[in-house]
Amino acid sequence: MTKSKRIVAGAIAAVLALAGTACGGSDDTAAPAEEPAAEAPAEEPAAEEPAAEPINLGVAFDTGGRGDGTFNDAAARGADQAASDLGYTVQELEATTADDRGPNLEALSAAGNQLIVAVGFAFGDALGAIAMANPDTYYGWIDGYYDCATDWAELDCSNIITTAFAEHEGSFLVGAAAALKSQSGHIGFIGGQEIDLIKKFEAGYIAGAKAVNPDIVVESQYLGAAGDNAAWGSPDKAKEIAGAWYADGADVVYTAAGGSGRGTIEAAVEAGDGKWAIGVDSDEYYVDTEEQQAHRLTSMLKRVDTAVFEMAKNVQAGTAEGGFFPFNLANDGVGYATSGGHIDDIVSQLEDFKAQIISGAIVVPEAP
C-alpha cells in the first residue's frame, strides 16, 4: 500500500475591497431653513475580486519519504518553501515499495497537480509514459538520467524537467575536508546501492581526499546491489561497517546511503573522541542529537530543495520548460555544510578547491 498525506499551506485568500461609508456632520450655528439638498447616490460596493485558482504541487517521494533526514527531506524543504512563499497546495505520496512509483505518479496526475516532482532516479521507468498521457502537467524529475532526444525519441519532453546534480564535485570537497581533518590518514566511504549514481559520490570523495594526501587510505563498501531498496534504510549495517573501520584506525566516514547514514553517526559517537561522520544531501547536523553533533564533521549538500522550488516558481510564472538542467558547484547546486564550526579552520582551503573545480583547473572524476 502507499502512504499519503496532504499539506495545505498558504491558500491564497481573496481580497475584498469594501467601499467606505459616507460620514455626515453638523454645525452648532443654526442655518436658515432651506430645501434639503438632493442626497448623493450611495456608492456601489466595489466588485469582489475572484479567488485565485489554487496552484497544486505533487511530490512523489521514493522509499524513506519525508523524515529520512537526507535526500527526500531535501525535496520536502523545497515543497514547503513553494507552499509558504508561492501559495502552493502540496500533495505527497511515498513509495513504500518499488511497485508504488508508477501508481503514485498516476494518482498525483489524476488529482490535478500542475507540477509533479518525482524524487529519485528510480521513477524513470514509469515517468515517460505518464508524462506523455498528461501533456498539460509538468513533471520534475530529480536525478533524471535520460536524454529525451535519444532515450525518449517518441516524446518531445516539453513537460519533463530533468535535473541532475554534480555529486562528485560536492563529494570532492568533503573528501578534502576528511583528509585535512584526519589524524590517522585512514578514512572510509559507505554507499547505498552499488550503482553509477552513488559511485559518483565515492569517486569525488576519494579524489578530494587524495588531492590533500596522496597516501591516504580510503575504505569503500556498499550496502546493497542495484535495485536493493533496503540499502537506503539499513542503519544497522552502516553502523557495523563504520564501527569496524573506526576500531581499525579510520577517523572519518562519509555515508551516501539515505537513512542508513544514521548508523554511521551512532558508530562515531560510540567510537569516541576524534571520530567523525560526514552526512549527505541535507545538513544532517540539524537532525543529530547534541551528542551526535559533536561528531558531525560536515555534510555534502545536494540542493534538491533549490531544484524543487525553482521548478515551482517557473511553473507558477508560466516560464517552465522541459529539458535537462544541471546543478553543480558553479550554481550552488551542491556544496558542503559548516554547521557546528568543526571545519571553520579549513574553509579557505576548501574554497580554493571549489574555485579550481569551477574554473576547470580540477576535473573531478565521476567513477572510482
Contact status, residue 340 vs residue 195, Cβ threshold 8 Å = no
Domain spanning 3-8+53-165, CATH architecture: 3-Layer(aba) Sandwich (3.40)
Report the C-alpha gap between 149 and 158 in whole angstroms.
Answer: 11
> Over the stretch 6-41, which tens digit does the pLDDT of each residue have?
333 333 233 223 223 333 333 333 333 344 444 444
Cα end-to-end distance, the chain, whole Å:
38
Mean pLDDT of 359-366: 98
> Over the stretch 271-314, which tens digit does the pLDDT of each residue have?
999 999 999 999 999 999 999 999 999 999 999 999 999 999 99
> Over the stretch 325-342, which tens digit does the pLDDT of each residue have?
999 999 999 999 999 999
Give the residue extent of every domain in the chain: 3-8+53-165, 167-302+338-359
Strand partners, 252: 187, 276
Strands (E), 35-123: 55-61, 88-94, 115-119
Report the C-alpha gap between 328 and 7 in whole angstroms.
Answer: 30
pLDDT in the model for residue 151: 64
Mean pLDDT of 207-232: 96
Q: Does residue 324 have a pLDDT over 60?
A: yes
Q: Does residue 50 have a pLDDT over 90?
A: no
What's the CATH superfamily of 167-302+338-359? Response regulator (3.40.50.2300)
What's the residue count for the chain?
Answer: 368
Q: What's the predicted TM-score (pTM) here?
A: 0.80
> Over the stretch 144-164, which tens digit does the pLDDT of each residue have?
876 666 666 666 778 999 999
In which band, very low, low, confident or very high, does the pLDDT at 364 lie, cut at 50, 70 and 90?
A: very high
Q: Do domains 3-8+53-165 and 167-302+338-359 have the same CATH topology?
A: yes
Radius of gyration over alpha carbons of the chain, in Å?
27
Helices 261-271 and 235-247 pack at an angle, to 10 degrees, of 30
114: Cβ contacts below 8 Å, ≥ 6 apart: 55, 56, 57, 137, 138, 315
> Over the stretch 243-255, which tens digit does the pLDDT of each residue have?
999 999 999 999 9
